[in-house]
Structure 1
Amino acid sequence: MAFVEVARLFVDPKRARVYEHGWQSWSPTTAYPATSTSHRPVAAHSLTQNYRPGRPAPAEGFQGEGLLVVDSGDGRVVSFEAGSPVSVPSIRARLDGDVLIVSADDLVRSQGADDMASALTDFGDRFAATCGVEYIRQPPTAWCSWYQYYRRVTVDDVHRNVDAIGEADLPVDVIQIDDGWQSAVGDWLSPSERFGSLSRIAERIRESGRRPGIWVAPFLASATSELARRHPEWLYPDRAGHNWGGDTFGVNPDAAADHLATVFTMLRDAGFDYFKLDFLYAGALDSLTDYRSGLAAIRDVVGADAYLLGCGAPILGSVGLVDAMRVGPDIAPSYEPPGGDLSQPSQAGAILNTRGRAWQHGRFWVNDPDCLIARPGVERRAEWAATVEAFGGLRSISDGIDELDEWGLTTTRRLLADVPAPLPFDELLA
């Protein structure tokens, strides 16, 4: 769809700012000087995997996905907004002298506000009401296997940390097994050789007094998976990214509906009731309507009491369907992202988005900044802990407990013991 001009705003170029909302969890989201250009992907495959597929931003200026806010620098603030979770326009802005030209590829609403923070929170309230958000649940605390063990995680790693959490008396509600438990991405019905029986692992976790959680990328499949080999008709034709050493493809939620119901029935019956649903953008490659239907169908299978955490998800297209949402890219032991792309794993990118999307907490869902990692060797770990403490609605940890030093253990215990209520934060740093 072509971009059509929707507004021309006179601004003070020296003081004006533009808030650009990214498409999905990992897409950079923050406010910029109007004279600058927002972040862009570094690698070609990142446009699909980390930004908005098929909608490359212009060489200069800004492109918000469903939301762009302009502070003119002279007291006037205007937001340009999506009105529906299934119709999310791309909204561009470029500076021409002292005029900011705003255009969009679909219908947008415009609203005035007193300041940028009010524009964001007012939009959040309006959009949440449109999506039927009425009640946000208090989140559990969680231990996640990913940032210590990555895909090498084993059953013994999980058991060892269950015991260590108990011995340290850490207030952890959920033990969440991340990527690595499955035989291949897309082949969720066949655990890897390192795991065997999921029901036995879940039973062991429940015996410790905690809830079993598991990572799944329901709308993504590796090109080498059995699912891709046996059911190419379930896949979107264009690749969804490059990961795990090869190409990945989106799984059409409608075409694969029966299969996805079987997967989540198996996981539910094995004893899991906390689900980290990752790479969700791959289910929205064709239609936000089909994506929302697929996500709602997963909720129907796992039940209303299960806790759903979205990740890598189209943000506005997911409102009303998950309990918590990752609002930034993956955290990493390193501060700077690889190649300088702030959609990639890093503390810099995670901090940027955690602050830039703080207004969504308590309105759309519980914000997940990503896991606290506090072991020695993590760069600027105190800065990341402070961000999680200030803006982390979901409190999860992802260190091997035996890797923590005294500072790491003390900080971990404090943040797990002081989980904020799912209410909007008082302070916003857009």
Structure 2
Amino acid sequence: MDPLVLGALVAVSTVIVLFSGVSVAVGLLIVSAGFLMIFDGMRSLELMPEILFGKLDNFALLSIPMFIIMGASIASTRAGADLYEALERWLTRVPGGLVISNLGACALFAAMSGSSPATCAAIGKMGIPEMRKRGYPDGVAAGSIAAGGTLGILIPPSVTMIVYGIATETSIGRLFLAGVIPGLMLVGLFMAWSLYSTWKTGSARLLTAGSYTWRQRLEILPRVLPFIGIIIGVLYAMYGGIATPSETAAVGALLCLIIAMLIYKLWSPKALWHVLRDSTKESVMILFIIAAAGVFSYMLSSLFITQSIAEWIGTLDVNRWVLMGTVNVFLLIAGFFLPPVAVILMAAPILLPIITTAGFDPIWFAVVLTINMEIGLISPPVGLNLYVINGIAPDISLKTILKGSLPFVACMVIAIILLCLFPGLATWLPDAVMGPSF
């Protein structure tokens, strides 16, 4: 059978299996085993266990559970609420200071936790009621938190970037640096829209309510600065050549646990057990998907599907930006239905040869891909962040949350366009810190 036709069959079969309700990892294994057995014979199944476990034989994977523990220990405390309150106290006299505080808190908490749902929950519990009380429209209050939570998979340290780095054998350090400027750019775009929206609806007169003394502003800082210091320390150790990503993640996780115990009195064995239990569950889920995706990639390569698609794309007489636009549409649609980790692991083996053949930088592409995944987090039918916000504020309808999130989706699309026009936004910092890649 022609590999391109076979590839189409694999794509359709994968969609059907995943929509049947099975987990992503199990679905990928079912599809891989089925096609290998039919088109490559029963003996090919003997290699599946070796590939499955061999994909996990990578020291860099250790950084995933460590960063997850790091985020879980922060998310289990009042760090998010304190971070929001600290920014609110400092920015209360700035026009639109409350919405800026919420988005800034989302960005910082996302950097600390690396989790979009955790960011929405931690900041939204305090931020949404406070914004509504001050007269902000429900759509702005809910949409800004939902969108701000997506920054967790872009601003370093990012588990999604780690997964992309492992899947494509790309430097994780470069990927982390590549997300810094685009992440800050997105924060700026989000803030600009939020301020414009509140001004347009006539609620600007309520935006500067409240005032705090210098003592009140300073007294909360000791509870949040240690966590921020750990993030800065982790990144410095990584880029200063002091330690590998896995080593810095392990030290960061330990320090976050210690600070959570010292500052927030997280002494209870039950509370510590919840942190480790939840971290283990999430880590096993991600690692299982990585292992299953390794088998899926082997199946695509063994049946010459990946190579044939890359060769076919190379023969097309189309502008490379038309090709990139097509890839972006594919990623958007995939992100509507699947979690970011699954999309990256499934699509990377196919897309990487295509984008490199077309002359695109894989580091730059990682940022574009991640922003596409961010759009998926606030878009139906899955839109995980939308449901998290609805759980926090059940009296705000999903329709209102979605309408409030759509302008932020437009901001993300603008960010992708800016990255296409100015790729240096993603590549300059990695090249400046770590030298040009060849």
Higher relative contact order (Cα pairs below 8 Å, separated by 6+ residues): 2
- The structure that has the greater radius of gyration is 2
Q: TM class, shorter-chain normalised?
A: under 0.3
Structure with the larger strand share: 1
Q: Structure 2 length normalisation: TM-score?
A: 0.25
